[in-house]
A and B are shown apart, each in its own frame.
Chain A
């Protein structure tokens, strides 16, 4: 069980690094917003894995809050892009 949990964390970390690359090189602002959203998804998955690792079920509440803030951030960025504003890619 330990080995599988470590392997899960390693794979999540690799995908986090890949998303960070897109976050840095992303040519436009919407690309970066998509990368941030996927980063939040990875964090929610990691919180689930950590809840199994530490055998503490309270971490699932943190996952709920993380998913909620990610959704609000995505909607806010979309609103900001559509209404216009100073954009500097």
Chain B
């Protein structure tokens, strides 16, 4: 009985991963590719870890597998968000049949500022006054005394 559950979990994990790989080959632009890989890949790893838990049926392996699943479920959206944001700002080509791009005039390439489009007049005034303050990585300089 439990053997069949393990077989089913392993095969479905492999098939979901294959689905993610087919998606990354076939889909037209970066955002749709990430839509395929993030979710299907995370589900593939989770199913395989559940299969290992059932196979060993041990408290230690259960804890380790649960740790992997929780870690994947936390980090996959964060990594996808970071890559998607960076890719959008770098200026990747978007699929030509995209219907809506809500950020199209909100990002300023020179100052690296992102407006939401919902700012009040006062906030826009503050924004205009601080245009010359460019955000950058601050490096502490050693002061020689």
Query: B21's contact among A1, A42, A74, A79, by CB below 8 Å, is which?
Result: A42
* Neighbouring A residues of B33 by C-beta, 8 Å: 22, 31, 34
With A8-B11, A30-B83, A78-B83 known as contacts, the answer to whether A22 contacts B24 (CB < 8 A) is yes
Encode B94-132 as 1/0 by CB contact (under 8 A) with A: 000000000000000000000000000000000000000
Query: A83's contact among B68, B82, B137, by CB below 8 Å, is which?
Result: B137
Query: B83's contact among A5, A8, A22, A74, by CB below 8 Å, is which?
Result: A74
Chain B residues within CB distance 8 Å of chain A:
3, 6-7, 10-11, 13-15, 17-18, 20-22, 24-25, 30, 33-34, 37, 41-42, 44-45, 48-49, 51-52, 55-56, 58, 60-61, 64-65, 67-68, 71-72, 75, 78-79, 82-87, 89-90, 92-93, 137
